[in-house]
Amino acid sequence: MTRKTYHQELEELKQDVLKMGDVVKKAICDSVQSLVKQNKKLAENVIKEYDPLIDKIELEIENKCMKLIALQQPMACDLRVIGTCMKIITDLDRMCDLATNIAEITLATADEPLAKPLIDIPRMSELALEMLEDSLRAFATNDIKLVEGISDKDDIVDALYDQVRRELITLMIEDPHIISGASHLSFTASHIERMADHTCNIAGRVIYMVTGERVKLG
């Protein structure tokens, strides 16, 4: 393999990771929308289509990473790129798993009224998606300035999660009949909060890829 071909394969590897990120973003969006709209078909699509697709893409990218390491023995910055790709796809896979969990909650609750209007949970998902978009753009461009606001957004997601959890606990105390539905919404908020945490992981790994410095965000 010539050095030109090698660097082309490195760039293709990054593009594969970005494509995986696009699928995960769609899975998150669709899973939350399925809950908001109580749309079983949309939820089933997340479970049957996105989850296995992400597993397949993750395996393909991991194999490419191992092949490049075995055949090229990359050094310094190139090795950081490959290592970062392997770390990012793990976080992306876990985010898709969380989206699948939300879709399963939709299927479990779609035939009954929601325990409370969904206002903060969609806002949490919007922020998590913005964080993921910024992190992936930073990964694509090596511009770590794009992730400077990640921790602040994560703090907002955490605050919204605490607010949702407190509201749901109050509702359950006032009306024990909604405990099941309220618990499902609490789990949903928790899943989105964890998505934001995974995005902070991705942002930190991008910073390491570009600078060689390890930074913990969130």
Reported as half-sphere exposure (CB side, CA atoms, 13 A), residue 7 has a value of: 3
Spatial neighbors of 167 by CB under 8 A, at least 6 apart, are 116
Spatial neighbors of 97 by CB under 8 A, at least 6 apart, are 51
What is the token pair recorded at 180? 């099941």
Instruction: Give the mean pLDDT of 192-214.
Output: 96
**Predicted structure pTM score:** 0.93
pLDDT band at 4 (very low <50, low <70, confident <90, very high): low
CA distances from 122 to 32, 46, 116 (A): 7, 17, 13
CA distances from 202 to 65, 117, 187, 196 (A): 17, 31, 23, 10
Q: How far apart are CA 95 and CA 198, in angstroms?
A: 7
What is the token pair recorded at 152? 């602040």
Domains of the chain: 3-211 (1.20.58.220)
Least confident of 2-6, 156-160, 208-212: 2-6
Write out pLDDT tens, residues 101-112. 999 999 999 999
pLDDT of residue 64: 93
Instruction: Give the mean pLDDT of 193-211.
Output: 97
Residue with tokens 């309220």: 182
Query: CA torsion sign, 96 to 161 to 126 to 85?
Result: negative
Write out pLDDT tens, residues 20-38. 999 999 999 999 999 999 9
Q: Is the pLDDT of residue 59 over 80?
A: yes
Write out pLDDT tens, residues 135-170. 999 999 999 999 999 999 999 999 999 999 999 999
**Backbone φ and ψ of 112, nearest 5°:** -135, 155
Where are the alpha helices (H) located in 73-178, listed in sequence order?
Answer: 76-109, 120-141, 150-174
